[in-house]
Amino acid sequence: MKIVILGGSGFIGRKLVSQFRDQGRHDVTVFDRTSADEHTDVRHVSGNFITGYDFAELVRGADLVIHLISTSVPGNESGALCEIQRNVIPSVQLFQACAKCGVDKVVFLSSGGTVYGDSGRRSNKETDLPEPMNTYGLQKLMIEQSLRLSARSGGFHYQIIRLSNPYGPGQNPQGPLGLITKLVYQAINGETIHIFGDGSVVRDFIYIDDAVACIMDVIGNGSCDETYNIGRGVGTSVSEVVETLEHALPISINIMHEAGRSVDVPYSVLDIAKYQRFGAVHDFATLDDGIQKTYDFFQKER
pLDDT computed for residue 35 by the predictor: 66
pTM attached to this predicted model: 0.94
Residues of the chain with CATH 3.90.25.10: 168-204+234-270+285-301
Helix, strand, coil % (nearest 5) of the chain?
35, 20, 40
Give the total residue count for the chain.
Answer: 302
Q: Which of the four pLDDT bands, split at 50, 70 and 90, describes residue 193?
A: confident
| Number of neighbours of residue 71 by Cβ within 10 angstroms | 17
Q: Is the pLDDT of residue 249 over 90?
A: no
Q: What is the mean pLDDT of residues 19-48?
A: 86
- Give percent of the chain with pLDDT exceeding 90: 75
Which is more confidently placed, 227 or 196? 227
Q: Which of 11-25, 66-80, 99-113, 165-179 has the highest mean pLDDT?
A: 99-113
pLDDT at 157: 98
More confident position, 82 or 263: 82
Cα–Cα distance measured from residue 59 to residue 112, given in angstroms and rounded to the nearest whole number: 26
Query: Could you tell me the CATH superfamily of domain 2-165+205-230?
Result: NAD(P)-binding Rossmann-like Domain (3.40.50.720)
pLDDT of res. 196 = 82
Of 144, 83, 76, whose CA–CA distance to 112 is shortest?
144
**What is the structure's pLDDT at 266?**
86
* Sheet strands side by side (includes 105-111): 43-46, 27-32, 2-6, 64-67, 105-111, 157-163, 226-230
Contact 115, 144 (CB under 8 A): yes
- pLDDT for position 34: 80
Higher pLDDT, 264 or 133: 133
Strands (E), 209-252: 226-230, 236-237
Decide which of 106 and 25 is more confident.
Answer: 106
Q: What is the pLDDT of residue 148?
A: 98
When pLDDT is cut at 50, 70 and 90, the band that residue 38 belongs to is low
What dihedral angle (degrees, nearest 10) is formed by the CA atoms of 211, 20, 91, 231?
Answer: -10
The band of 37, judged by pLDDT with boundaries at 50, 70 and 90, is low
Residues 56-65, mean pLDDT to the nearest whole number: 98
* pLDDT given at position 39: 62
Asked whether 164 and 268 are in contact (CB, 8 A), the reply is: yes
Looking at every residue in the chain, the average pLDDT score rounds to 93
The CA distances from residue 102 to 63, 64, 115, 291, in Å, are 8, 10, 29, 43
Residue-wise pLDDT for 77-118, tens only, equals: 778 999 999 999 999 999 999 999 999 999 999 999 899 988
Does pLDDT of 133 surpass 80?
A: yes
The CA distance from 117 to 43, in Å, is 38
DSSP letters, 37-77, are -S-TTSEEEE----TT--HHHHHTT-SEEEE---S--TTS-
Strands (E), 82-197: 105-111, 157-163, 165-167, 192-196
| Fold that domain 168-204+234-270+285-301 belongs to in CATH | UDP-galactose 4-epimerase; domain 1 (3.90.25)
Strand 64-67 to strand 2-6: parallel, antiparallel, or no bridges (unpaired)? Answer: parallel
Instruction: For residue 87, give the DSSP letter.
Output: I
| pLDDT the model gives residue 256 | 85
Strand blocks (E) in the chain: 2-6, 27-32, 43-46, 64-67, 105-111, 157-163, 165-167, 192-196, 202-203, 205-207, 226-230, 236-237, 254-258, 267-268
Closest Cα partner for 223 from 279, 295, 287?
279
pLDDT at 264: 80
The answer to whether residue 36 scores a pLDDT higher than 90 is no
The answer to whether residue 30 scores a pLDDT higher than 90 is yes
73 CA to centre of own chain: 10
Q: How many Cβ atoms sit within 10 Å of the Cβ of residue 61?
A: 11
**Start-end ranges of CATH 3.40.50.720 in the chain?**
2-165+205-230
